Amino acid sequence: MNSFDIFNLSKPLQNAIVDLGFEKPTPIQAETFSVILSGKDVVGIAQTGTGKTFAYMLPTLQGLKFSEQITPRVLVLVPTRELVIQMVEMIESFAKYVNVRVLGVYGGVNITPQKDAVALGSDVLVATPGPLFDLAVSQVLKLRDVNKLVIDEVDVMLDLGFIYQLTSIFNMLKPRRQNIMFS
């Protein structure tokens, strides 16, 4: 695959790709784009630096239509605060010309500003499991409208012992949703 043209992307996403300097999709991006866009569950495995985040966010952003709802429609779970911050910045750069609200939730900081931000609403929520679980249990965050769940670094999440939080979060989500797991 020689260029992103094969994906028939919206003009805002095409413009972001040009700004980012991406010329052609990596193998993980090429192989997962149509599957993720179709709504099927996906497990992707690729080395660090191969564009996994772009592999799942590009089709996600392509299929995400404008909405004024407060509750998130896409939930991205990652193992660390640093990864949440990095992911939010990356997603914002991918969605530079798209009207999408991206929010990060993580521990180790005062939770009040994050609670306030959750109340304002988001389309894409990137979070670590612990703080996300706490916000959901306290009813500050409603997960009922999440129709796409992404677990990035799923192997690390399980190695770090997040199985209880992950299972509890799964039970708070609607049963019919797309599940995307990358490692």
Running along the chain, 183 residues long, what does each successive block of 10 average in pLDDT?
82 94 92 94 91 93 90 96 96 94 95 92 96 93 94 91 91 92 93
pLDDT value at position 48?
Answer: 85
pLDDT value at position 31?
Answer: 94
Residue 100 and residue 79: Cα distance in Å, rounded?
A: 23
C-beta of residue 19 within 8 angstroms of C-beta of residue 104: no
pLDDT value at position 1?
Answer: 45
pLDDT value at position 2?
Answer: 56
Residue 117 and residue 107: Cα distance in Å, rounded?
A: 14
Which strand (E) or helix (H) includes residue 181? strand 178-182
CB atoms under 10 Å from CB of 119, counted, come to: 10
CA atoms within 13 A on the CB side of 7: 31
Collapsing DSSP to helix, strand or coil, 29 comes out as: helix
* Residues across the chain: 183
- Angle at alpha carbon of residue 165, lines to 162 and 170, rounded to 5°: 120
pTM for the predicted model, two decimal places: 0.94
C-beta of residue 133 within 8 angstroms of C-beta of residue 150: no
pLDDT value at position 113?
Answer: 93
pLDDT value at position 68?
Answer: 85
